[in-house]
């Protein structure tokens, strides 16, 4: 009877994961979907703690009994996770996602290490699951920690001479070692198993290290899918439907998102895997030409231009998150609406530093989801837009992606803001964006620069609009 209850709990947990993922597809239901999935996970955890049985040393069924360690870990993990999630700023959300994802990869790695060191005889299939779970989990852990360091600025981009060749050699070495260990060609050699662990960690470091900042959203998505796959292998090992379902959902969703992000960046997934993805390129090629002069615009002129427009499109970027100006931006939108101006938001798939960063940022400020236009829709409406207000975005509006074959971002789809009648760019300075590339948009005739902190500028712009 208790086993039936356990399996029923696993089934309910799996269903809540699927429902939760479905509900996450829309902001109106995302919060509820997250809670439903969390509830299913909680049910599965406690059902496992109190109802799961395993075969003991004498062949008798034994239940989990080390409750002090189990609940100690649960309490510590829950406390740390809750405090971290509550205190994290939106600007630091990508780092937190990378760090938490790395912890998931580390868990999968540790599961494989524990199972490998058990004295029971393992068949080829079980050995394959153990080795692959450890390999993928280790790559995810090491890569996520490097991504976390790069996002918070403590680790700089490093391009290793011959890095692609080195990664190919490491990858080939990993495949060879996996075959040797799984097939038992070299029996009783634990050193080979730990060599896979070491090489996987090295590969995770080397393939993330040279990746440029503008490409980081794709890397986060890819590493997230790795963690999901590694968790699914844990589900296979323990014959646990919840782990298996959760891992498959995370792995498949992360893979689909990675492909979509690669498409948005006009990159190849193969280049991500071999570690040549946007690697530490500077803007020398794109910014070496003579740019000419840029022109500034005053707050009063900006307010007049926007107040008498029919349509204004706001392009949010990482600078908006740094200034924590999302609520002020929404207030600007409401002031313009009161004056009869239609306001929409143009969202590039890789704006910010993680997938969906701008969507989350604006959702926090209660911006209606219907006003968030995906890149294709935004570009379709750009020609009928009177004013585009760019808030801290850079690379996703850089015309070099279309016009300069020498640019590192050449071929990347962008928000084609130059099609609008007027472009106002809010930045702190003329420094290049996260990709380190000069932006020719700033020097074009339609573009005017409005310098300053995004939040302060928006507050002053709102005050000016109320006087128009």
Beta strand 53-55 with 61-63: parallel, antiparallel or unpaired? Answer: antiparallel
- Looking at residue 412, its pLDDT comes to 82
Average per-residue pLDDT in the chain?
Answer: 87
Q: What are phi and psi of 346, to 5 degrees?
A: -95, 120
- Looking at residue 286, its pLDDT comes to 41
DSSP secondary structure string for all residues of 48-105? HHHH-EEE-TTS-EEE---HHHHHHHHHHHHHHHHHHHHH--GGGHHHHHHHHHHHHH
pTM over 0.75: yes
pLDDT in tens, 232-289: 999 999 889 999 999 999 999 999 988 888 877 776 777 655 544 444 444 444 444 5
- Looking at residue 109, its pLDDT comes to 96
pLDDT in tens, 59-113: 677 888 889 999 999 999 999 999 998 888 777 788 888 999 999 999 999 999 9
| Cβ-proximal residues to 115 (8 Å cutoff; 6+ apart), any chain | 126, 130, 237
Least confident range from 46-50, 254-258, 266-270, 388-392: namely 266-270
Please state the rounded mean pLDDT for residues 306-332.
Answer: 93
CA angle 32/104/151 to nearest 5° reads 90
- Looking at residue 284, its pLDDT comes to 41
CA angle 165/168/169 to nearest 5° reads 90
| Cβ-proximal residues to 282 (8 Å cutoff; 6+ apart), any chain | 436, 437
- Looking at residue 212, its pLDDT comes to 67
Q: What are phi and psi of 38, to 5 degrees?
A: -65, -40
The 10 Å Cβ neighbour count of residue 453 is 17
Whether the pLDDT of residue 193 is over 80: the answer is: yes
| Cβ-proximal residues to 197 (8 Å cutoff; 6+ apart), any chain | 109, 113, 134, 138
Place of tokens 């207000």: 389
- Looking at residue 405, its pLDDT comes to 85
- Looking at residue 74, its pLDDT comes to 94
Question: Hey, CA dihedral for 434, 436, 153, 272, is it positive or negative?
Answer: positive
- Write out the catalytic residue numbers: 395
Whether the pLDDT of residue 396 is over 60: the answer is: yes
Least confident range from 217-231, 283-297, 414-428: namely 283-297
- Looking at residue 91, its pLDDT comes to 72
- Looking at residue 210, its pLDDT comes to 81
The partner residues of 143 in beta bridges, in order of sequence, read none
Name all domains of the chain by residue range, CATH numbers in brackets.
91-280 (no CATH), 284-467 (3.40.50.1220)
pLDDT in tens, 213-229: 667 778 888 899 999 99
- Looking at residue 292, its pLDDT comes to 67
Place of tokens 């298996």: 244
Place of tokens 């009877």: 1
| Cβ-proximal residues to 437 (8 Å cutoff; 6+ apart), any chain | 214, 282, 283, 286, 287, 395, 398, 400, 407, 408, 409
CB 410 within 8 A of CB 404: yes
DSSP H helical ranges for 239-316: 241-265, 269-274, 284-287, 299-307
- 152-159 long-range contacts, CB within 8 A, separation 24+: 152/92, 152/95, 155/209, 157/209, 157/210, 157/211, 157/212, 157/213, 157/279, 157/280, 158/209, 158/210, 158/280, 159/210, 159/279, 159/280
- Looking at residue 187, its pLDDT comes to 67
pLDDT in tens, 338-387: 999 999 999 998 887 777 888 888 988 889 988 999 999 999 999 999 99
């Amino acid at each position: 009877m208790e086993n039936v209850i356990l399996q029923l709990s696993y089934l309910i947990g799996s269903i809540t994961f699927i429902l939760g993922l479905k509900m996450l597809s829309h902001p109106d239901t995302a919060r509820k979907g997250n809670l439903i999935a969390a509830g299913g996970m909680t049910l599965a955890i406690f059902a496992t703690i109190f109802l799961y049985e395993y075969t003991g040393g004498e062949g008798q069924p034994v239940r989990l009994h080390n409750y002090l360690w189990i609940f100690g870990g649960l309490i510590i993990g829950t406390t740390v996770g809750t405090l971290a999630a509550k205190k994290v700023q939106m600007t630091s959300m990508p780092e937190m996602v990378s760090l938490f994802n790395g912890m998931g990869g580390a868990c999968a790695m540790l599961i494989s290490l524990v199972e490998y060191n058990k004295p029971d005889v393992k068949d080829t299939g079980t050995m394959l699951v153990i080795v692959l779970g450890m390999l993928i989990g280790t790559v995810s852990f090491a890569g996520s920690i490097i991504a976390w360091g790069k996002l918070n600025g403590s680790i700089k981009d490093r391009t290793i001479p011959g890095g692609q060749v080195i990664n190919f050699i490491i990858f080939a070495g990993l495949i060879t070692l996996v075959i040797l260990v799984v097939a038992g060609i070299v029996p009783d050699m634990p050193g080979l198993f730990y060599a896979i662990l070491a090489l996987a960690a090295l590969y995770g470091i080397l393939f993330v290290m040279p990746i440029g900042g503008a490409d980081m959203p794709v890397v986060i998505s890819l590493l997230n899918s790795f963690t999901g796959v590694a968790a699914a292998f844990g589900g296979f090992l323990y014959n646990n439907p919840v782990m298996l379902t959760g891992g498959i959902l995370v792995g498949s969703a992360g893979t689909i998102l990675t492909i979509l992000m690669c498409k948005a960046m006009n990159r190849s997934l193969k280049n991500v895997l071999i570690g040549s993805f946007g690697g530490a390129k500077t803007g020398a090629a794109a910014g070496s030409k003579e740019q000419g002069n840029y022109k500034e615009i005053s707050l009063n002129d900006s307010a007049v231009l926007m107040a008498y427009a029919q349509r204004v499109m706001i392009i949010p970027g990482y600078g908006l998150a740094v200034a924590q100006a999302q609520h002020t931006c929404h207030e600007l939108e409401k002031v313009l609406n009161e004056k009869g101006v239609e306001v929409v938001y143009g969202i590039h798939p890789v704006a910010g530093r993680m997938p969906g960063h701008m969507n989350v940022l604006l959702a926090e400020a209660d911006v209606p989801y219907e006003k968030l236009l995906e890149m294709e829709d935004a570009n379709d409406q750009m020609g009928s837009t009177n004013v585009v207000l760019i808030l801290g975005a850079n690379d996703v509006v850089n015309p070099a992606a279309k016009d300069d074959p020498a640019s590192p971002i050449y071929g990347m789809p962008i928000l084609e803001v130059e099609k609008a009648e007027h472009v106002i760019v809010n930045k702190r300075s003329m420094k290049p964006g996260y990709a380190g590339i000069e932006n020719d948009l700033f020097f074009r005739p339609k573009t005017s620069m409005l310098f300053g902190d995004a939040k302060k500028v928006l507050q002053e712009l709102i005050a000016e609009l109320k006087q128009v």
